[in-house]
Amino acid sequence: MHRFANPARFLKIVRPLTAWLFWPGLILLLVGAGCGLFVTPADYLQGDTVRILYIHVPAAWLGMGGWTGIAVAALMQLVWRHPLAAVAGRAIAMPGAFFTAVCLVTGSIWGRPTWGTWWEWDGRMTSMLVLFFLYLGYIALANASARQGNGGVSPVTAIFGLVGAINLPIINRSVVWWNSLHQGPSITLRGSSIDNALLWPLGFTLIGFTLLFAAIVLMRMRAILAQNKIEARMQRLARG
């Protein structure tokens, strides 16, 4: 990992990588969403609302995956002092918060016709809402430490990112630990309880959204690194 610690070497790799992730991601996403909307059959019980699955599940995956990324970056920053880890943590926060919000909103829209309610204070929904608030706190802390001039996040923000990861297994196990309107785990390592006729477009949207997420994170990392360069040069010019 320390091979990529040099921002110049990192940028040489990510400049072409950003487009390679973005465009295939967009194509996969559009194919998956198109098939999910117009090719797969309606569910025998839920009807057409089951089609929300193809955006809700990837959003949940990226909301949780984003915080996993923040926790890994925090660990790399605190333990190995990797110079790009702080930048990565800050770059992940905004898209992670966005996809957590998408998960909450699409879940709420799906809940109204399926459960008869927009919201229920049960374990899954509440722990996901807590994740969203954790993201907001992390973004506020990261912006405050960025103003101090290092471009990334402060060690305190990194510790917050690491401690916040305790919420991830709670989200994952919430439907097992507590009674919930939300269905139990339907996709596990042992297989899926969703019929293949409905399941297959989910692979497209899951990979598509993940590639787009990665591209967005790289764009934000590039913006932060360029901003760091600008600030360093401005300081040098000011000093004469």
- Least separation, in Å, of the C-beta of 146 and another protein? 13
- Least separation, in Å, of the C-beta of 102 and another protein? 5
Site of tokens 């465009």: 23
Residue 232 CA from chain centroid, whole number:
30
3-state class (DSSP) for residue 192: strand
3-state class (DSSP) for residue 83: coil
Give the x/- contact pattern for another protein in 188-227, rule: CB under 8 A: ---------------------x--x--xx--xx-xxx-xx
- Asked if residue 64 binds another protein (CB under 8 A), the reply is no
Residues 69-88 that bind another protein (CB under 8 A): none
Nearest residue (CB) to another protein, 47 versus 184? 47
d(CA 167, CA 52): 25
Find out whether 130 and 169 touch, Cβ atoms under 8 Å: no
Report the amino acid identity of residue 174: S
Q: For another protein, which stretch binds (CB under 8 A), given 54-62, 79-87, 127-135, 152-160? A: 54-62
Give the x/- contact pattern for another protein in 130-169, rule: CB under 8 A: ----------------------------------------
- Asked if residue 48 binds another protein (CB under 8 A), the reply is yes
Nearest in space to 154 (alpha carbons), one of 143, 164, 163, 165:
143
